[in-house]
Structure 1
């Protein structure tokens, strides 16, 4: 049996892979940051290298 420990951030435009033990969980979905989990309400990105998500 394989245990999933990493998933893509649930934010559509985000490229990050999230370690589920450190993910920001919202509505049962894993996000890499508060910015993604909150839907980028202030227009900020997650700030992770190489990722340009912001909506």
Structure 2
């Protein structure tokens, strides 16, 4: 039996977003919801998704 994962929680620890594996930003083998999370909020910007207040 095999399982196909289609969505995962963003790898950013402060983020609450769930992202499609196919549409996420992959960095270092982890899936992030967008570039801000993938770069560990180096510019201090959050992901700007509704309901999420992450800033790394």
Which bracket does the TM-score occupy, shorter chain normalised? over 0.9
Once the two structures are TM-superposed, the CA of residue 29 in structure 1 deviates from its matched residue by: 0.1
Normalised TM-score (structure 2): 0.95
Distance 1:49 1:23 in 2: 16
- Give the length in aligned residue pairs: 55
**Which residue number corresponds to residue 38 of structure 1?**
39
**Aligned residues: CA RMSD:** 0.6
Instruction: Give ranges in structure 1 of 5+ residues lacking alignment.
Output: none
List structure 1 segments (4+ residues) > 6 angstroms apart after TM superposition. Answer: none
> How far 1:2 sits from its partner (Å)?
2.2
TM-score, normalization by structure 1:
0.96
Structure 2 gap ranges (5+):
none
Task: Report Cα offsets for 1:5-50 as digits up to 9, x if no partner.
Answer: 1000000000000100001000000000000000000100000000
Matched, 1:7 2:8: yes
Larger Cα Rg: Structure 1 or Structure 2?
2
